[in-house]
Structure 1
Amino acid sequence: MALLKIRNLTVEFDTAQGPFRAVDGIDVEVEEREVLAIVGESGSGKSVSMLAVMGLLPPTATITADEMTYDGRDMLKMSGRERRQIIGREISMIFQEPISSLNPSFTCGYQIEEVLERHLGLKGKAARKRALELFESVGIPDPARRLKSYPHQLSGGQCQRVMIAMAIACKPRLLIADEPTTALDVTIQKQILDLLMKLQEEYGMGLIMITHDMGVVAETADRVSVQYKGRKMEEADVLSLFENPQHPYTRALLAALPENATGDRLLTVADGWEGVQ
C-alpha cells in the first residue's frame, strides 16, 4: 500500500480575472523509503500540489481529487483536528526560502520546542534536550548557542538546517522538501542534499523532492514525475527517464542541461518544446 496516494488532484484559485487552474488532474504516489522527485519549470504546480496535501493553501483555493489517502486513510474526509494530528508529525514539509519561513520574532530553539510540545507533549528541559539533539543531528555548529539565536543571526545554510531539524523533529514517515537548496550556494547545496539523504535512510521516510534541478534528481531520486503547467507529462524510474525520456517536454528539459550543450549557445527548454496541446 502506498504511503501517499493522490488521484486527479485539481487546484483552482479565485482571481480578479476569474478562476485560475494551477494544478490540473495530477496523480502522485510514493512508497515508504522511496524518493520521488517532482520536476518542472517555475509555475508548473509542483509546490501548489504539495501545499494542497498539507492543507496550507489560502481560502481562495478550491481543491478537488478523486482520491487522497495517507497510509490508507482518506484525507478528504478528515476533520481539521484529525488532519492536524498528521500534518507536522507524520507528514512534514521543508519550505523554500528558509529565512523567510522562520519567525524572526522568536529564537530558533523556541520554534523547534514549540513543534515538540505541540506534537509530542515535551516541555521544559525535555524539549530543550531533544531540540539540542536535533540541532546536533543536522550538523548545526555550537548547537547550544544556536538554540538561543534568532533566524537573522544565522546563515542561509544554518537556517535551512534549522528547518530540517523542525521537519524531522517527530520522525515523520513522509517528508516533502520544496526546493530545499535553491537559495544556497553550491557547496552548501551539496551538504544539505547529503544530509537529507542520510536522514531519509536513517528514518526510513518516504521523501518527495520538489525541484527544477535535474542534477538533484539524478543524485537523489528513485522515481521522477515531470510536470508542466499543472499537468503531469511523464513519470518513470530515474534511470529510464534520463536514458530514454518519452515525452518531448522531458527531452527538452534534459537538453537544456549545461552538460548537454552543443555549439556556442546553451539551449533553453523553449528551443525543444512548443507546448502542450
Structure 2
Amino acid sequence: MGLLNIRNLTVKFATATGSFTAVDGIDVTVDKGEVLAIVGESGSGKSVSMLAVMGLLPDTATITADEMTYDGRDISKLSKAERRQLIGREITMIFQEPIASLNPSFTTGYQIEEVLRLNLGMSRAEARARALELFKAVGIPEPEEKLNSYPHQMSGGQCQRVMIAIAIASQPKLLIADEPTTALDVTIQKQILDLLMKLQEDYGMALILITHDMGVVAETADRVVVQYKGKKMEEADVLSLFENPQNPYTRALLSALPENATGDRLPTVSDFMALEGTK
C-alpha cells in the first residue's frame, strides 16, 4: 500500500444548469520517497484532484471516492481539527502563482514563522531562527534581509522559493507541487525544479508534481499518470511511458514535443488525436 491511495475519485461542481464533472473516477497512488508526475493539458482535472485531497475545494464541489487514505488513515473521515493537523504538517502543497499565494500585508518572514509556530509549537525566537535556516536552504539571497521583505519587494522566483520554504517547514512526508514553475522564466524554472528535486532527496519526501510539460516529466519523475478531460488515460514508469506509450492521448502529448517536430509547424494534440481517430 502506498503513502497516498486514491481510488475512483470523482469531483463535481454545481452549476446554474446542473453539475460539471471535473474529475471522473481517478485512481492515484504514490509511495514513500517517490516522485509521481500527473500530466495533462489545462482542464484535465490535475489540480482539482489534488485540491480535493487537501480539502481546499469550495462548497460547490461534491467529492466522492471509494478510497482516500494517507499512511493508512481515511482522510475523508477525519474531523476538521484532525485534517488541519495533517494538512500543512505531513501533506503540503505549492501553488502555481507564488505572489498570489503569499499575503501582501505581512513580511515573508512573518508568514513562515506563523506556520512554524502554529504547526510545530515553536516560540517566536525558535521560529525566527528556523525561518532563517529554511531561507538559506532554499537559496534565497541575503536571507536575513529577505525575512523582513514583503512579497512585492521580491522577484517571482524568490517568492516561489519562499513558498517552498513554507511547504517544507514541517518536513512533510508528501509534497504536492502544482505547476510550480508556470509563472517563471526558463532559467528560473530550472533552478526551482533542481531545488525541488534536491529537497525531495534530502528530506526523503514523496513528491507529486502536477505539470503539462513532458520535458519536466522526463527529467524528474519515477512514475507518470496521464489525465485527459477528468479521466486517467495511462499510468506507467517514466521510461516505459516515453518509449512505448499505450494511449493515443499520451502519444499526442509526446508528438507535440519540439524535438518531435517535422516540417515548419509543430503538431498539436488535436492534430494527433484526429489522426488516431480519437476525440
Shorter chain as normaliser: what TM range? over 0.9
Shift of 1:271: 0.5
SS at match of 1:122: coil
Give the equivalent residue in structure 1 for 2:141. 141
Counterpart of 1:11 in structure 2 is 11
**In structure 1, what is the equivalent of residue 261 of structure 2?**
261
Give the deviation of 1:276 after TM superposition. Answer: 5.8
1:168 aligns with 2:168: yes
What corresponds to 1:64 in structure 2?
64
Secondary structure of 2:184's counterpart equals: coil
Aligned residue runs from structure 1 range 102-117, under 5 A: 102-117=102-117
1:187 aligns with 2:187: yes
In 2, are the aligned partners of 1:113 and 1:123 still within 8 Å (CA)? Answer: no
Aligned AA (1:229): K
Root-mean-square deviation (Å): 0.9
Counterpart of 2:69 in 1: which secondary structure? strand
1:222 is aligned to 222
- Aligned pairs (5 A) from 1:8-157: 8-157=8-157
Write the letter of the residue equivalent to 2:134.
Answer: L
Q: Please name the residue that 1:236 is paired with.
A: 236
Distance in 2 between residues matched to 1:276 and 1:97, nearest whole Å:
33
| CA displacement at 1:264 relative to structure 2 | 1.1
After alignment, is 164-173 or 120-129 more displaced? 120-129
- Return the alpha-carbon distance in structure 2 between the equivalents of residues 67 and 135 of structure 1: 37
Question: Which one-letter code corresponds to 1:95 in the other structure?
Answer: F
Q: What are the superposed Cα offsets for residues 174-216 of structure 1, whole Å, 9 maximum, x if unpaired?
A: 0000000111111101100000000000000000000000000
- CA deviation after TM superposition for structure 1 residue 17, in Å: 2.7
CA distance in 2, matches of 1:276, 1:46: 21
What percentage of residue pairs aligned between the two structures are identical?
80
Partner secondary structure for residue 235 of structure 1: strand
Give how far 1:124 is off.
Answer: 1.3
Which residues of 2 match residues 197-212 of structure 1 at below 5 A?
Answer: 197-212=197-212
Q: Deviations over 1:43-78 (max 9, x none)?
A: 000000000000000000000000000000111111
- For the residues of structure 2 that align with 1:18 and 1:161, how far apart are their CA atoms? 41
User: What is the letter of the counterpart of residue 140 of structure 2?
Assistant: I
Whether the aligned pair in 1 keeps the contact of 2:92 and 2:167 (CA below 8 Å) is yes
Deviation string for 1:97-123 (max 9, x for gaps)? Answer: 101111111110011011001100012
Give the aligned partner of residue 178 of structure 1: 178
- 8 Å contact 2:24–2:231 — kept in the other structure? yes
CA distance in 2, matches of 1:237, 1:17: 40
Cα distance in 2 for residues equivalent to 1:54 and 1:144:
32
Residues of 1 paired with 2:174 and 2:166: CA distance?
14
Paired residues of 2:113 and 2:127 also in contact (CA < 8 A): yes
Amino acid at match of 1:89: R
Tell me the secondary structure at the aligned position of residue 232 of structure 1: strand
Q: Is the 8 A contact 1:93 1:177 kept in 2?
A: yes
- 2 CA distance for matches of 1:148 and 1:120? 22
Normalising by structure 1, we get a TM-score of 0.99
> Unaligned regions of 5+ residues in structure 1, if any?
none
1:252 corresponds in structure 2 to 252
Shift of 1:15: 1.2
* Number of aligned residues: 277
1:137-171: CA deviations, max 9, x gaps? 00000001100000000000000000000000000
